[in-house]
Structure 1
């Protein structure tokens, strides 16, 4: 259970949430949808509730087990096998390694006394292993992982060899395994999940909905997946970015939508009535103020008018929209980027081999492949942030690359919003950059906010702002619509439609591929090139 009392959340000097009064509580059986527009403070609030950050004011108490999935999971030991990472949620990974060590010792020792000691030690470990679910739990971990699109061949690989999306699914599997008692997710663990459907295919999302519906512990979920919210949540916390407050709705998603619309209509009526009364009071005060004998009464009327307006909620303005337009491409030759015989190997695992490609001026290419086929790795190599094991790049005349990284690797989390975009465009005049950031909804004190404190959607907008300032003629885009609300996503899709430069796109979003109107597709891991057809659209959600 989690209880937050008098919680105040800030990002830099911005107050995101001020929740005095009744505590925000998460109890067993509560399945809460944490919603609000991008930048309202959902991710920051969830991080604080999970104990990964401190509130500016107020307190958070936690009892029982917690499972927290951040948007950008922390990098741990990348040499660990994916299977062991999942099993570590219950400490089974270390127990299995100790049992294997004792088995090897029992096979080696000839001395009876040492053998007896090894057998006793093995028995103790096996008893503890059984108390934690034993081999049934190991099968359960595999079942959960498989349901999230992590087959056994992926589980047998070190995390280092997996894509960012696969590593995130490993973390989700680990959290759900910790929360499950073998009967479909029925345990008292409180789950805090930030965009859990990112990088999941349709079948995995369907399975996840069922798991969360059956979960008997507490749950707070941030998601742009409306179907998941409609199927799973029974309460909603709406973070109002205008008022900086949390509105609590003790009802399911569909009833919440109606109730919130009713609340907004009520606030508009209250404001209209109060403004009408305040206007009448001020008009009367203006008439009376001319007479010295009625000056005090006139002043009191003005005070009453001010008090009427001061007690009202701030008027809601329409949610601002980022005006995303990719750059006018700098002049370049006919083929600004070529690559030949690109190969990537991790240890004995071959990711892809012998990939050749030529990116012509203004061409539009989609990279497809099953998870783990090396799509993100290929874009990293093309961007120059990772080396291929053979082959190489051949930059053409005038090449200027703009790279959008799936995990926002191009951002410096310790630097401010302003410092990040200034680094991306050091020669651009300051006022031009400020106008650009304003178009991407970064203004005022938020310019000084560290990038690491931004939500996933805000990081996406900041990374895109850096691209726009670059005048790139080849854009390498790795999941550019992740973490975006529907309005911002449509802005990105419109920018893709109108961009005149070359684009190499990796995406799970069929709408992004359709907006790009690609000419070609590159299929990994073989590097086969083909003309685009609608048949490939069905592969997007599986890739």
Structure 2
């Protein structure tokens, strides 16, 4: 078992844990939850041996094999399959020993090592690795591709596959669902349910936690509190605990009534915005857990849009893609006033491409995008975080948006997104991904859009902020189009789904469970053995056709891969420089009198590097999508 006894843990001057105690029994699957900065990732670093306790004990059985997801993925020439196999260190060790024994002709060692390989299932390891890759969304023909040819998001999946490949006793996963699509999250849930070891997972995805966890560890107030049950059960127990701690639940209700009275007097229109057809079940769920969020630091809402034309926009026979490659064909859909649309589809199907088209970031290759004159779009996507000015504060960003508004009003508004005290005037550059996401959302909310386009808005957001965002979106009076792997957000804020598949977009008649069943049936059909005419194909001709197709694909991709390689080298160089600048700017030394000149130069250079990174990453993303489009076309031909 894992035992933490009277544990005190500090990072710099901040005391994360103080005399904390925790016991995790073998086979437990525990979700680690708490606000950003509470110490969740530091707890993982402690268990991995990267940090040491300032006092107390952290005991992990010494014979346990520990597995975790690597944060970096070198641009390796080895294949994806071999990279995943590296996750099983014992397998690789035996293989190396066997190669040495065979080279020296040591028959006794060769026989013994074959026995060891058989004992650990080593001969089935390539098949196990291939199943992991398939489950995480890698096409079978990509298993032999060099690691260096995959994009950043797909390399993260390779790291996850490598961690799952390890036959571990303890598996540590930190936000494993970030950057995964919905169906891959569902596959990962099934895999983790069958995992026989001890699992600790940091996640802000409540449905994911509900599906896989047997316990929840709440990291808050410098302590660790273990609850039995999944996340929803934890919220009920925590709500009861909060009520007991306050000592008087009626007093709590009076405080809530006072708050509602304030909103009614000063924000009447916004507080009375219609629920916009949000699902009754989701509302009941949110109301049931609301007491657990009484202490939430977030308090914001979307004001009623000034105009709500109908339709807000429509596509007429529109094609969209990158360069000469078309991703989505002849789109004919419209976004009506008050519509709340969730986009479904596998990674690479074109969901983000569609959102970029609606946002005006990608012009149609043909056809028309027709927008209402009073259309006002609020667009959130992860790449937009890089457009924030790293040397400027959240307050300065808001002042650029609203130069005529009093500073105190802007400070109060930012407080609803938990930018308080010195954070309001601190530079954005060193801030976390979650803090930057909150600022980007704050800037969108301020502008009173009548159409929200949200592409994975919950990445980097903790559970409290996700809850606050869900409530705000439920009350939003405009139209909403959202891409998200967060099922709770999709179920609570959308009324209809559009399916992005096979190069087009069409309504999907059903809910998320229907979509899951549809995908399972689709995968089963794809994996069904062919018969009849397909079996009669001459094998020699088939091999020749496959070889010709591979050569054609390689020729089409060769110039693009050369450009991709150059961009990746630039990304690596700029990324290293940005990491060094971020590390310096987040250190205490940066703000000493002796480093004033260096600080100013570093802040200026950080802005330049961020801008260069944004440009190179955009070029890289467009090129990668063009390559993937060519591969999909090859696979379907």
TM bucket by the smaller chain?
0.5 to 0.7
Taking the aligned partners of 1:52 and 1:390, their CA distance within structure 2 comes to: 53
* Structure 2 CA distance for partners of 1:526 and 1:266, relative to 1, 3 Å: closer
- Superposed CA offset, 1:205-238 (max 9, x none): 54233244x11x563544544674686445x532
Report what 2:613 is aligned to. Answer: none
- Superposed CA offset, 1:225-284 (max 9, x none): 4674686445x53222xxx311343866699789867866775569xxxxxxxxxxxxxx
Report what 2:217 is aligned to. Answer: 237
Give, in angstroms, the shift of residue 402 of structure 1.
2.4
Report what 1:204 is aligned to. Answer: 187
The partner residue of 1:145 within 118, 129, 133 is 133
Larger radius of gyration: 1
The partner residue of 2:33 within 24, 35, 55 is 35
Give, in angstroms, the shift of residue 139 of structure 1.
1.2
Mapping 1:524-543, distance limit 5 Å:
524-528=501-505, 530-531=506-507, 533-534=509-510, 538-539=514-515
The partner residue of 1:402 within 369, 374, 378 is 378
Report what 1:101 is aligned to. Answer: none
Normalization by structure 2: what TM-score? 0.53
Give, in angstroms, the shift of residue 401 of structure 1.
3.5
SS where residue 452 of structure 2 aligns? Answer: strand
Preserved CA contact (<8 Å) 1:40 1:239: no
Report what 2:8 is aligned to. Answer: 6
The partner residue of 1:343 within 304, 316, 321 is 321
The partner residue of 2:447 within 458, 470, 474 is 470
Preserved CA contact (<8 Å) 2:458 2:466: yes
1:362 matches 2:337: yes
Higher relative contact order (CA 8 A, sep 6+): 1
* Structure 2 CA distance for partners of 1:486 and 1:372, relative to 1, 3 Å: same
Preserved CA contact (<8 Å) 1:475 1:501: yes
Mapping 1:428-447, distance limit 5 Å:
429=405, 430-447=407-424
SS where residue 164 of structure 2 aligns? Answer: helix
Report what 1:311 is aligned to. Answer: none
Mapping 1:110-129, distance limit 5 Å:
none
Taking the aligned partners of 1:249 and 1:88, their CA distance within structure 2 comes to: 34
Taking the aligned partners of 2:370 and 2:49, their CA distance within structure 1 comes to: 43
Taking the aligned partners of 1:367 and 1:373, their CA distance within structure 2 comes to: 11
The partner residue of 1:371 within 321, 334, 347 is 347
Give the number of aligned pairs. 451
Give, in angstroms, the shift of residue 464 of structure 1.
2.0
Give, in angstroms, the shift of residue 539 of structure 1.
2.0
Give, in angstroms, the shift of residue 501 of structure 1.
3.9
Mapping 1:42-61, distance limit 5 Å:
42-46=39-43, 48-49=45-46
Report what 1:521 is aligned to. Answer: 498
Higher deviation after alignment, 248-257 or 367-376: 248-257
Preserved CA contact (<8 Å) 1:69 1:196: no
Preserved CA contact (<8 Å) 2:299 2:468: yes
Normalization by structure 1: what TM-score? 0.61
* Structure 2 CA distance for partners of 1:230 and 1:363, relative to 1, 3 Å: closer
The partner residue of 2:296 within 307, 315, 320 is 320
Taking the aligned partners of 2:380 and 2:186, their CA distance within structure 1 comes to: 27
* Structure 2: tracts of 5 or more residues without a match: 97-101, 249-291, 520-637
Mapping 1:51-130, distance limit 5 Å:
66-69=66-69, 77=75, 83=81, 85-90=83-88
Report what 1:310 is aligned to. Answer: none
* Structure 2 CA distance for partners of 1:427 and 1:170, relative to 1, 3 Å: farther
Give, in angstroms, the shift of residue 342 of structure 1.
0.8
Report what 2:265 is aligned to. Answer: none
Give, in angstroms, the shift of residue 468 of structure 1.
0.8
Preserved CA contact (<8 Å) 2:342 2:497: yes
Taking the aligned partners of 1:490 and 1:361, their CA distance within structure 2 comes to: 26
Preserved CA contact (<8 Å) 1:42 1:455: no
Give, in angstroms, the shift of residue 174 of structure 1.
2.2
Preserved CA contact (<8 Å) 2:87 2:164: no
Give, in angstroms, the shift of residue 193 of structure 1.
3.1
Mapping 1:212-361, distance limit 5 Å:
212=195, 214-215=196-197, 219-222=200-203, 224-225=205-206, 228=209, 232-233=213-214, 236-240=216-220, 244-249=221-226, 318-320=294-296, 322-326=298-302, 328-329=304-305, 340-344=318-322, 352-356=327-331
SS where residue 440 of structure 1 aligns? Answer: coil
Taking the aligned partners of 1:93 and 1:338, their CA distance within structure 2 comes to: 54
Give, in angstroms, the shift of residue 472 of structure 1.
3.4
The partner residue of 1:172 within 148, 155, 160 is 160
The partner residue of 2:473 within 493, 496, 500 is 496
* Structure 2 CA distance for partners of 1:226 and 1:139, relative to 1, 3 Å: same
* Structure 1: tracts of 5 or more residues without a match: 99-118, 181-186, 271-315
- Superposed CA offset, 1:170-208 (max 9, x none): 432221113x2xxxxxx3455243354864547525423
Preserved CA contact (<8 Å) 2:313 2:370: yes
Give, in angstroms, the shift of residue 441 of structure 1.
2.8
Relative to total residues, which structure has the larger helix share, 1 or 2?
2
Taking the aligned partners of 1:453 and 1:52, their CA distance within structure 2 comes to: 26
- Superposed CA offset, 1:372-420 (max 9, x none): 31212433455466x6895598574465432222577457596677268
* Structure 2 CA distance for partners of 1:378 and 1:540, relative to 1, 3 Å: farther
Taking the aligned partners of 1:503 and 1:79, their CA distance within structure 2 comes to: 43
Taking the aligned partners of 1:55 and 1:330, their CA distance within structure 2 comes to: 55
Report what 2:276 is aligned to. Answer: none
SS where residue 319 of structure 1 aligns? Answer: coil
